[in-house]
A and B are shown apart, each in its own frame.
Chain A
């Protein structure tokens, strides 16, 4: 069983919809990252969080350490949000990545 499980694997939404991507993990951590990867592009760090909730523009990330679960929400989604969203656990010397969620937002 992978240490990090993301769902859904693929998500298609209409512009304006509220989107939720989930990440569950099986090991104790002190921090979790949400990353964004555009097609052919590099990876951008969206959030690093260890408790509670963070918000940046239309993006919101939450984490529940006790339940070993994190969510990434996108409000008022837009086609430019189309990308792969990856959650990653912060280990001692490296990140352990989920498989990613491929998001496509249609106009």
Chain B
């Protein structure tokens, strides 16, 4: 696609429910990243994919969070048994390759509200 696409753009869910957030990276981009931006806080890293594998998932805050990537393309971030502290904007970014000096392209984000 022309850019990184995330869906849904907004999601309101009840505490305790599971949610799935989707990211469609730019076609051909090898690297895919999930970040989170909580209200009033900066961006924090969640997980990184190189192809379909996740060499670095150190930022996932708890075992309620998981992510997968299939076909080297679409990624899904799943949050189980959501809590109010999970409310945040979840941002996905992709890069054409891995490495230190590679530009990142961001999606518009999914705003998750847990009520």
Interface residues of A (CB under 8 A from B): 29-31, 33, 35, 41-45, 48, 50, 86, 88, 90-100
Contact = CB atoms under 8 A, between A and B. Distances in A.
Interface string B78-115: 00000000000001010000101111111111000000
A45 B48 contact: no
Interface of B: 33, 35, 42-45, 48, 50, 55-56, 59, 91, 93, 98, 100-109
A88 to B, nearest CB: 8
Given A93-B98, A94-B48, A99-B42, A45 B56 contact: no
Contacts of B101: 30-31, 48, 50, 90
A42 B56 contact: no
